[in-house]
Amino acid sequence: MDFFKRETRINFMAYRLHAAIFTALLVAAALAFLVFRGLNLGLDFTGGTLVEVGYPQAVDLAEVRETLDAGGFDGAVVQTFGTARDILIRLGPDAGEGDALSNAVLAALQAANPEAELRRVEFVGPQIGEELAEKGGLALLYALGGILIYVAFRFEYRFAIGAVSAVLHDVIVTIGIFAGIGLQFDLTVLAALLAVIGYSLNDTIVVFDRIRENFIRMRKGTAVEVTDRSINQMLPRTLVTSLTTLLVLIALFTLGGELIRGFALALIIGVLVGTYSSIFVASSAALALGVSKEDLIPPPKEGEDLEEERP
Amino acid sequence: MRGTEATDNHLLVRLRSNEAQVRAADELDVALGRDYTVALNLAPATPAWLRELGAEPMYLGLDLRGGVHFLMQVDMDAVVEQAVERYRDEFRRALREADLRYRDIRPQETGLDIAFIDEVTRDAALELLSADYLELAFEASESDQAATLSAEITEDELREIRNFAIEQNITTLRNRVNELGVAEPVIQRQGADRIVVQLPGVQDTARAKDIIGATATLEFRMVDEGNFPYFGDESEPVPPGTERFPERGGGFVLLEREVIITGEAITDAQSGIDTETGQSQVNIRLSGSGGGVMARVTGDRVGDHMAVVFKETELQARRVGDEVIREQVEVEEVINVARIQEQLGSRFRITGLDSSLEARNLALLLRAGSLAAPMQIVEERTIGPSLGQENIDQGMAAVLLGFALVVVFMAVYYKVFGLIANLALFANLILIVAVLSILQATLTLPGIAGIVLTVGMAVDANVLIFERIREELRAGSSTQQAIEGGYGKALSTIADANITTLIAALVLFAFGTGPVKGFAVTLSIGILSSMFTAILGTRAIVNFIYGGRRGVRLAI
């Protein structure tokens, strides 16, 4: 089977102005969501206590809330988790002495219904929460910095800027979508975000690699033509890899359980956004910065290879 | 019950289900009494022939097997405060003994200010103290009313004090966790002032917290010589001024009411061998003030006996009607009685121990008796056992479905080459698990997610190669040229693409904690092993099938 019987000839770069406007709008919308709605930060970053309790049958949330109110746990957020038999209770960092609180909550619930079973407790002190948030931010910065340096070293600084702007775009849009939908942003989502950075970059690098090769091989053709040709040549691969990755992510999203769902969703969004950005953001940015044939003087070894293959 | 296994001083009882395990533990706890620790564990059911080969099951993270994770913060301010207090006590006594009169000693954040009547006394004190306390920086100053001497604990010494406190707390925690009988506990220092405690399989977090936070203390007391050895039992009245304590190993001892020193005064205890007699002994070091008290008390009682009393609160199981009740019980016992050979100071030793094992245990108890500094739980993550099993099942299901989807797609889309890529993918999965086992890395739920993601991304290398081969074929290359070109030209692209992903994974590893690290580990391993299987592995099979055949149509 082959989706692409012959090489496609889509003039991607002809649309690059439209794409730029669309991208700008997308990023602006994402930033607006981030600023005005804000991220729904998970326990990892805010600190607080979370207790997950399982019941053999579905329970009434109102009853659980009443039990907790009667127990003096004011401000407890009660929701179901996955199924109606699973209850998630979240308490803010100022709800009481952290490590004793979870035991008290469980004791109160078990007094009301002895079948309540403790499934999970998470308690994060406020100081730890701050640290995790700080570390997470630093991790994003270092990942971006490391990639910038590697791409600049392997290609050229304009490509590096193109790659990093594509990755930044992916991160901002993915976080923006999380803020927009109000999905919880916790440590695993942050990990997914870093994996998105790796993935999106992977996509971008593959296209850049071909652009570099074509600049050297195609005697004629403007930078725009070379870029278009390269994107078209890599299109089957870009789409096939995105598809296989999405396939496993969908498996993870549907079967992986509630704990991993946010992680899988962040990656699914990231892969979609990353595929878009590697076509329209990374290459356009490199072009806009004025990448030309002269910038890519080939290392001697690769040049020889190519000479041999042209008949 | 599925069988029992006995080792040196352990008995392992295998049971069929969690439920049976909990019930059996209750029964045993009651039947065996407090000479035994009964703990719930998850023992591997590796077949004997695999165990012969040294095979062990994979380490599962807490999110997969259930258990407790605590992050404890040691209160370093309190540690320094304690040190300052200790110096104050010592200065007071030293100045009194040297007959140097001072107005008062005021503790500061990391030092002391001593106010003197006049400069002459101050200078004499400076000379006296600076000779004894090399770890302090002394400075003399004048103000309107008084001549002041300030002593600052040096940075090096502060670091030493803090390090000692945290090491001491770790030792204490380790001993307490051993009391819990948990298999494979993790107790590690994290950063400057934190300790990670992980207890796999522990379900009763309240109990775990009680034991970890327990306050065990030690006391040194003089034995009532008039009644030694003591043959009475619990029913007899004791002479005034004395107290009766049970002795470890049976019997009772009568001790004087006055406590000489407590465990807090012990700064170090090491087991060793007396070079002259060849007997086991424990070398003890006391803090300055503790040594002073010890010298004063033992000075005129050489030849008498001294006892070490160990006090702690522990949970004991008791049967009331049909139910098994656990309750906090204060336990006191004499762990050692020894004759005083000479006046003791801040360094002395306990001899007359039966074996080196006993010496080691005593040293451990002396060291680990009490926490050197208060601690607080700042992070807790508990996963119930049912959720752990659920996570394993769901993770496995996701891996299998993801794998199946990719395999079907590749086979349909790339035909024979797709099947070859699938073989490589399968080999890659096995490699990841093998490397994880060799590294003894812990498999976590995000780790499984990393494996799933790798399955999706690992085929990328093959997609790159195969698409390149198709391109070459379209350009009119012969089959062999197309294969050669496809593999050759895709190589640098694959390397570039994977190295950038690896950078992201390494950053994740460096900054991530716990589960996130697990994801980074499997992702990194997956990337590296996929390069091997997807490039070298598939090339070998492709050459095996198509190598040396000219003009054949490639099924791609």
CATH number for position A80: 3.30.70.3400
Question: Do B521 and B416 fall into the same domain?
Answer: yes
Domain boundary among B327, B348, B381: B381
In this predicted model, what pLDDT tens digit does every residue of A25-76 receive, in sequence order?
A: 999 999 999 999 999 888 888 888 888 888 888 888 888 888 888 877 777 8
The partner residue sitting opposite A138, judged by closest CB among B412, B500, B511, is B511
In the predicted model, what is the mean pLDDT of residues A275-285?
88
Two tokens at B366?
């002396």
Residues B371 and B396 occupy one common structural domain: no
Do residues B124 and B263 share a domain? no
Residue B452 counted as domain residue: yes
Domain stops at, among A124, A143, A174: A124
Residue A7 counted as domain residue: no
Identify whether B177 is part of a domain. Answer: no
> In chain A, which residue's Cα lies nearest the Cα of B207?
A103
Domain boundary among B353, B381, B409: B381
Q: Can you tell me whether residue B371 is helix, strand or coil?
A: coil
Q: Are residues A35 and A61 in the same domain?
A: no
The CB density around residue B47, as the number of other CB atoms within 10 Å, is 8
C-alpha–C-alpha distance, residues B521 and B506, integer Å: 8
Residues of B in contact with A243 (CB under 8 A): 409
**With contacts defined as CB-CB under 8 Å, which chain A residues touch B413?**
1-2, 240
- Are the Cβ atoms of A248 and B403 closer than 8 angstroms? yes
Q: Is B531 on the interface with A (CB under 8 A)?
A: no
Alpha helical stretches, state H, B263-384: 288-299, 356-368
Closest residue of A to B210, CA-based? A100
Contact B496 A209 (CB under 8 A): yes
Report the DSSP pairing between strands A40-41 and A184-185: parallel
Torsion angle, CA of A213/A216/A221/A224, rounded to 10 degrees? 50
Q: Which of A239-253, B372-386, B421-435 has the lowest mean pLDDT?
A: B372-386
The residue-averaged pLDDT of B254-275 equals: 80
Contact state of A263 with B446 under an 8 Å Cβ cutoff: yes
**CB within 8 Å of chain B, chain A residues 139-168:** 139, 142-143, 146-147, 150-151, 154
Instruction: Compare A272 and B297 and report the one with higher pLDDT.
Output: A272
Does the residue A255 lie in any domain?
A: yes
Q: Measured between CA atoms, how close is B413 to chain A, in angstroms?
A: 5
Model pLDDT, residue A305: 46
Rounded CA separation B430/A35 (Å): 45
Residues A99 and A237 in one domain: no
Taking only Cα atoms into account, the Rg of chain A, rounded to an integer number of angstroms, comes to 25
In terms of domains, do B477 and B417 share one? yes
Per-residue model confidence (pLDDT) at position B422: 93
Q: Are A93 and A227 within one domain? A: no
Instruction: State in Å, rounded, how far the first CA of chain B is from the last one.
Output: 56
What's the mean pLDDT in B536-551? Answer: 84
User: Once rounded to an integer, what is the mean pLDDT over residues A168-191?
Assistant: 91
When pLDDT is averaged across residues A90-103 and rounded to a whole number, the result is 70
My answer on whether A25 and A99 are in the same domain is no
Residue A296 has pLDDT above 70, yes or no: no
* Interface contact flag, B386 A201, Cβ < 8 Å: no
A260 & A140 share domain:
yes
Domain annotation covers residue B39: yes
The span from the CA of B253 to the CA of A134, in Å, is 57
Q: Among A104, A124, A144, which residue terminates a domain?
A: A124
Q: What is the pLDDT of residue B401?
A: 92
Q: Is the pLDDT of residue A309 over 50?
A: no
Mark whether B8 and B43 lie in a shared domain.
Answer: yes
- From chain A, pick out residues whose CB is under 8 angstroms from the CB of B504: 143, 146-147, 194-195, 197-198, 201
Q: Are residues B285 and B371 in the same domain?
A: yes
Interface size between A and B, measured as CB pairs under 8 A: 247
Tell me: do B251 and B351 sit in the same domain.
Answer: yes
CB contact under 8 A, A256 and B499: no
Q: Of B364, B381, B398, which residue sits at a domain end?
A: B381
pLDDT of B386: 78
Place of tokens 């993790």: B186
Query: Do A135 and A255 reside in the same domain of the chain?
Result: yes
Is B117 part of a structural domain of the chain? yes
Regarding whether A229 and A292 lie in a shared domain, the answer is yes
Q: What is the domain range of residue B520?
A: 384-546
Q: Are residues A26 and A75 in the same domain?
A: no
Question: Are B218 and B328 within one domain?
Answer: yes
Nearest to residue B304, comparing CAs of B338, B280, B257?
Answer: B338
**A200 in the same domain as A119:** no
* Mean pLDDT of the residues in chain A: 84
| Claim to verify: residue A32 and residue A64 sit in the same structural domain | no
CB–CB of B382 and A202 under 8 A? no
Q: Which residues in A lie closer than 8 A to residue B474 (C-beta atoms)?
A: 6-7
**Interface touch B503/A150, C-beta < 8 Å:** yes
Q: How far is A30 from chain B (nearest CA, A)?
A: 23
Question: Across the interface, which of B381, B452, B502 has its CB nearest the CB of A252?
Answer: B452
Which residues in chain A have their CB less than 8 angstroms from residue B453's CB?
Answer: 195, 245, 248-249, 252, 267
The answer to whether A133 contacts chain B (CB < 8 Å) is: no
Q: Is residue A152 part of a domain?
A: yes
Residues B532 and B419 in one domain: yes
- Report how far residue B427's alpha carbon sits from residue B458's, in angstroms, rounded to the nearest whole number: 11
Q: Give the per-residue pLDDT at B210.
A: 65
What is the distance of C-alpha B369 from the center of its chain? 17
The number of folded domains in chain B is 4
CATH of the domain at B516: 1.20.1640.10
CA distance A285 to A212: 15
Task: Select from A122, A263, A305 the Cβ nearest to the Cβ of B381.
Answer: A122
The count of domains in chain A is 2
Report yes or no: B75 at the A interface, CB cutoff 8 Å.
no
Q: Which among B456, B474, B498 has the least Cβ separation from residue A249?
A: B456
Q: What is the mean pLDDT of residues B108-126?
A: 87
| The residue to which tokens 């992680």 are assigned | A263
DSSP codes joined into one string, A187-210: HHHHHHHHHHHHHHHHHHHHHHHH
CA gap B456, A203 in Å, rounded: 14
* CATH number, position A250: 1.20.1640.10
> Which residue in chain B has the smallest CA separation from A154?
B496
Query: pLDDT tens digit string along B5-25?
Result: 777 677 778 877 766 776 777
Contact A260 B519 (CB under 8 A): no
Boundary of a domain, candidates A73, A89, A124: A124
Which of A286, A142, A297, A110 minimizes the C-alpha distance to B206?
Answer: A110
Choose among A119, A146, A206: nearest Cβ to B497.
A206
What does pLDDT average to over chain B?
Answer: 81
Interface contact A210-B493, CB threshold 8 A: yes
Boundaries of domain holding A37: 12-41+128-309
Residue percentage of chain B with pLDDT more than 70: 88
Q: Are residues B372 and B404 both part of a single domain?
A: no
Taking CB atoms and an 8 Å limit, are B391 and A132 in contact across chains? no
Pairing of strands B252-262, A117-124: unpaired
The answer to the question of residue B239 being in a domain is yes
* pLDDT at residue number B214: 58
- pLDDT on residue B413: 92
State the pLDDT at residue A26: 94
Pick from A307-311, B54-58, B287-291, B378-382: least confident: A307-311
Together in a domain, B352 and B421: no
Q: Tell me which residues of chain A, numbers 97 to 126, contact chain B at a CB-CB cutoff of 8 Å.
A: 98-100, 102-103, 117-125
Q: Is residue B207 part of a domain?
A: no
| CB half-sphere exposure, A170, CA atoms < 13 A | 37
Instruction: Please report the residues numbered 266 through 285 in chain A whose beta carbons come closer than 8 angstroms to any beta carbon of chain B.
Output: 267
Q: Could you tell me if A244 lies within 8 Å of chain B, comparing CB atoms?
A: yes
Question: Could you tell me which of A283, A20, A12, A25 has the C-alpha nearest to residue A163?
Answer: A283
Cβ B507–A124 below 8 Å, yes or no?
Answer: no
N-to-C CA span, chain A:
30
Q: Are A282 and A165 in contact (CB under 8 A)?
A: yes
Mean per-residue pLDDT for B356-371?
Answer: 69
pLDDT of residue A170: 93
Lowest mean pLDDT among A294-303, B72-81, B104-113: A294-303
Question: What is the ipTM for the molecules in this complex?
Answer: 0.85
Statement to judge: residues B281 and B335 lie in one domain: yes
Q: Is the pLDDT of residue B147 over 90?
A: no
B379 and chain A in contact, CB less than 8 A: yes
What is the C-alpha separation between B537 and B541, in angstroms, rounded?
7
Q: Does the pLDDT at position B86 exceed 90?
A: no
Chain B's closest residue to A213, CA to CA, is B489
B280-329 pLDDT, tens digit per residue, is: 888 888 877 788 888 888 888 888 888 888 776 555 666 666 666 656 56
The answer to whether A248 contacts B456, with C-beta atoms less than 8 Å apart, is yes
Residues A170 and A304 occupy one common structural domain: yes
Give yes or no: residues A68 and A164 share one domain. no
Specify if B320 maps to a domain. yes
What the block records as the tokens of B182 is 């948990």
Helix (DSSP H) and strand (DSSP E) numbers for chain A: 11, 6
Q: Which residue has the higher pLDDT, B112 or B362?
A: B112
